[in-house]
Structure 1
Amino acid sequence: MYSVNVRDHFMIAHSFTGEAFGPAQRLHGATYVVDATFRRRELDADGVVVDIALAGAQLGAVLAGMNYQNLDDHPDFEGRNTTTEFLAREIHQRLADAIQRGKLGPSASGIDALCVTLHESHVAWASFEGPL
C-alpha cells in the first residue's frame, strides 16, 4: 500500500459534557496538528497517490471552517462532545466528501483509504481510518 501524508493545524475552543471529562468540562482551548494520510494499492497514471498540493489545499479548506471557532457554538456540532476522536472522524468524512466531489483531482477516486490523525500534544493523539 502506498501512502502520502499532508499536515496542517487548527485552533479551537470547546468544552465537554460528562463527569468523565473532569476539568475539561469547562471551556478550554486546543491546537491540533492534523495529518491526513491517503492510501492506495496502485499508483495513478502519473505515478502518485494523490496530488499533494490539492490534498493540502483541501485539508486547509476543511480545517478553515473550524479554525478559531468555539465548537460549542458551531451548528455542525450541536449537542456533541467534540473530542479528538470525534473530530478525527469528522475531518475524515469531510475529506472523503471532497474526494467524491473531485476536489482532489480525478485520479483521487483511486484512493483506497484515508487516515486522519489529530495530535493533541506531543504525548497524545487520536486517529480515524476508513476505506473510501
Structure 2
Amino acid sequence: MYTVSVMEDFIAQHYLTVPDPGPEGEVHSHHYEAELTLSGPELDEYDYLVDIETVEEVLAVVRARYEDALLNEQSKFAGHNPSVEHFAHVVWDLAADELDTDHLSTLTVTIWEDDDTWAAYEESV
C-alpha cells in the first residue's frame, strides 16, 4: 500500500456550543494544520499515487475558505458544534469532491488543533 500525506496550516477561530464549555465557549483562535493522507495499492503510469500539486491545490482551497474565519459562521458548521472532529469531516467532504479518488483506497483528513491535539476522519473511497 502506498501513502502520500500533505499538510497546510492556517489560523481560524471558533467557540464551542456544548453545555458548559468553559473558556472554550468564548471566541478563540487555533493554529490549525490540515493534513490529507491518501492511500492506495497501485501507482499510476507516472509512478504517482496522486499528484502532490493537486493535493496542495485542494489544501489551498481549505486555507482560503477557513483562514481567519469564524468556523461557527460557516455554512458547513451550521447546527453543529465546531469541534476538531467535525472540522475533519468537513475537510474530508471537500477533498473527496475535489480529488480523483478512482485508484485510491482511503482518504484520511487529520486536523491538528495544536502541537499535541488532533482529530481525523477516514473513509474508503
User: What TM-score do the two structures reach when normalised by structure 2?
Assistant: 0.91
CA shift at 1:121, angstroms?
Answer: 1.4
Aligned partners of 2:7 and 2:108: how far apart in 1?
Answer: 12
- Cα distance, 1:75–1:39 mapped onto 2, change above 3 Å: same
The C-alpha deviation readout for 1:27-63, integer Å capped at 9, x for no partner, is 1111101111111011112111100011111111123
The C-alpha deviation readout for 1:67-93, integer Å capped at 9, x for no partner, is 111112223322211111110111011
SS at structure 2 position matched to 1:94: helix
Match of 2:5 in 1: 5
Aligned partners of 1:28 and 1:13: how far apart in 2?
Answer: 5
RMSD: 1.4
SS at structure 1 position matched to 2:107: strand
SS at structure 2 position matched to 1:68: coil
Match of 1:37 in 2: 37
Task: State whether structure 2 residue 64 is matched by structure 1 residue 83.
Answer: no
Alignment of structure 1 residues 1-132 onto 2, 5 Å: 1-19=1-19, 21-99=21-99, 102=100, 108-132=101-125
Q: Contact conserved, 2:33 with 2:111, CA < 8 A, in 1?
A: yes
Aligned partners of 2:47 and 2:10: how far apart in 1?
Answer: 31
Amino acid at match of 1:31: H
User: What TM-score do the two structures reach when normalised by structure 1?
Assistant: 0.87
* Structure 2 gaps, min length 5: none
- Normalized per residue, the structure richer in helix is 1
Amino acid at match of 1:119: W
Aligned partners of 1:48 and 1:23: how far apart in 2?
Answer: 45
Aligned partners of 1:29 and 1:50: how far apart in 2?
Answer: 32
